[in-house]
């Protein structure tokens, strides 16, 4: 059973401090990050996705100056429709997070005792630490070298079986019936099914609707992304205290939602209405 996880994607950066850019993918990374952060006041975060926004919120709450850089036009660019993202952005900005959208970091150079992060739009940010949170790539090298079928992840059927009999994959490294879902809940679903299969009762994995709670307490956010490739559209209802966005497919079925601010109270009710992703 392959459960080898995923590697952080590294942005190719120029500059003599490029090697000092940290990413956090496990506890030892996190310990290193905390050690380097100790006594520092400023941080640049590459990536305004889930992990970038969560770190931005926490570090800002701890009094750190936070700049977040992302080539997209909004935070959680692949998950949130525009008004919901705008609400999240405005709330984090009001808390003091500085976003730099539509650009990317090009170099990270020593400017002792600081670090200078130069962006493609000509801005240079003086900072103490650069954290990269631009995403993860499933670890597929071992599977590929073993002749297993790989795509984005290690390709498995709904029973978690790879292209080779008796070789299974699950977790961040796996692409299960077309889905690579790097979150704990799908892994738990997969592990339960696989346990039954390995005990002699072949059991396909079931993925119910699994909303992701974004840990940005300054602006509570929950998103249940529509399955990739589903035709449909977002409808957003904006209120002073939050945004409720629903994604219906072309047949009118609710296939996903995004809730920001006070609208997160609707999470449970909406989750019941979204059909399972798989099974
Ligand atoms: C900062 C951060 C925050 C997150 N927050 C959330 C969250 O709030 N909610 C949520 O649901 N998910 C969250 N996730 C995602 C979640 O942590 C992952 O989906 C989950 O840990 C993946 O588990 P895994 O077992 O597939 O991989 P991992 O936990 O990465 O474990 C893989 C293990 O395999 C080992 N390994 C690698 N190669 C080999 C090899 N060749 N042989 C043997 N062992 C090997 C690795 O050393 C590692 O110990 C977060 C992830 C990060 C990085």
For residue 255 and ligand 1, the question of a CB distance below 6 A is answered with: no
For residue 188 and ligand 1, the question of a CB distance below 6 A is answered with: no
Residue 257: pLDDT band (50, 70, 90) is very high
User: What confidence score (pLDDT) does residue 11 get?
Assistant: 95
Report how far ligand 1's centroid is from the alpha carbon of 267 (Å).
Answer: 26
Are 104 and 19 spatial neighbours (Cβ–Cβ below 8 Å)? no
Mutation pick for ligand 1 pocket among 49, 134, 182 (CB with most ligand atoms within 8 Å)? 182
Nearest-CA residue for atom 16 of ligand 1: 183
User: What confidence score (pLDDT) does residue 42 get?
Assistant: 98
Mutation pick for ligand 1 pocket among 1, 2, 5 (CB with most ligand atoms within 8 Å)? 5
Name the helix (H) or strand (E) containing 99.
strand 98-101
- With b for 16 or more beta-carbon neighbours within 10 A and e for fewer, the 44-73 pattern comes to bbbbbbbbbbbbbbebbeeebbbbbbbbee
Backbone dihedral angles phi then psi of residue 105, each to the nearest 5 degrees: -75, 140
Task: Kindly report, residue by residue over 262-277, the tens digit of the pLDDT.
Answer: 999 999 999 999 999 9
Nearest-CA residue for atom 42 of ligand 1: 4
For residue 172 and ligand 1, the question of a CB distance below 6 A is answered with: yes
Nearest-CA residue for atom 53 of ligand 1: 25
Nearest-CA residue for atom 14 of ligand 1: 183
Nearest-CA residue for atom 35 of ligand 1: 4
Are 260 and 266 spatial neighbours (Cβ–Cβ below 8 Å)? no
User: What confidence score (pLDDT) does residue 204 get?
Assistant: 98
For residue 171 and ligand 1, the question of a CB distance below 6 A is answered with: yes
In terms of pTM, does the model score above 0.75?
Answer: yes
Task: Kindly report, residue by residue over 57-83, the tens digit of the pLDDT.
Answer: 999 999 999 999 999 999 999 999 999
Strand pairing class (232-239; 212-214): unpaired
Residue 18 DSSP label: G
For residue 24 and ligand 1, the question of a CB distance below 6 A is answered with: yes
CA distances from 85 to 42, 48, 181, 221, 243 (A): 24, 11, 21, 10, 9
Task: Kindly report, residue by residue over 12-37, the tens digit of the pLDDT.
Answer: 999 999 999 999 999 999 999 999 99
Q: Average of pLDDT values for 217-221?
A: 98
- Farthest CA pair distance, the chain: 62
Query: For all residues of the chain together, what is the average pLDDT?
Result: 97
Mapping DSSP to helix (H, G, I), strand (E, B) and coil, where does residue 4 land?
A: coil
Atom number of ligand 1 nearest to Cα 133 = 1
Task: Kindly report, residue by residue over 122-178, the tens digit of the pLDDT.
Answer: 999 999 999 999 999 999 999 999 999 999 999 999 999 999 999 999 999 999 999
Strand-pair partners of 105: 119
For residue 89 and ligand 1, the question of a CB distance below 6 A is answered with: no
The percentage of the chain sitting over the pLDDT mark of 70, rounded to a whole number, equals 100
Report how far ligand 1's centroid is from the alpha carbon of 179 (Å).
Answer: 16
Instruction: Catalogue all structural domains in the chain, each as residue range(s) with its CATH number.
Output: 6-136 (3.50.50.60), 140-198 (no CATH), 212-271 (3.30.390.120)
């Amino acid at each position: 059973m392959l459960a080898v996880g995923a590697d952080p994607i590294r942005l190719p950066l120029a500059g003599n401090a490029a090697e000092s850019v940290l990413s956090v993918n496990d506890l030892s990374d996190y310990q290193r990050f905390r050690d380097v952060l100790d006594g520092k006041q400023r941080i640049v975060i590459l990536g305004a996705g889930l992990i970038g926004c969560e770190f931005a919120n926490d570090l800002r709450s701890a009094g750190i100056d936070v700049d977040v850089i992302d080539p997209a036009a909004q935070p959680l660019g692949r998950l949130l429709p525009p008004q919901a993202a705008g609400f999240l952005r405005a709330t984090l900005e009001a808390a003091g997070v500085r976003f730099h959208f539509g650009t990317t970091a090009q170099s990270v150079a020593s400017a002792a005792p600081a670090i200078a992060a130069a962006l493609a739009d000509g801005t240079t940010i003086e900072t103490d630490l650069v954290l990269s949170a631009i995403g993860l790539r499933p670890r597929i090298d071992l599977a590929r070298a073993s002749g297993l079928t790989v795509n984005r992840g290690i390709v498995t059927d709904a029973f978690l079986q790879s292209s080779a009999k008796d070789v299974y994959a699950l977790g961040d490294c796996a692409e299960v019936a077309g889905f690579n879902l790097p979150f704990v809940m799908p892994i738990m679903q997969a592990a339960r099914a696989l346990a039954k299969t390995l005990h002699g009762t072949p059991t396909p994995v079931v993925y119910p609707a699994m909303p992701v709670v974004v840990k940005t307490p300054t602006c509570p956010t929950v998103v249940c992304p529509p399955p990739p490739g589903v035709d449909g559209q977002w409808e957003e209802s904006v209120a002073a205290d939050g945004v409720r966005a629903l994604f219906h497919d072309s047949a009118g079925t609710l296939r996903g939602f995004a809730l920001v601010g006070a609208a997160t109270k609707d999470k449970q009710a909406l989750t019941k209405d979204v059909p399972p992703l798989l099974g």
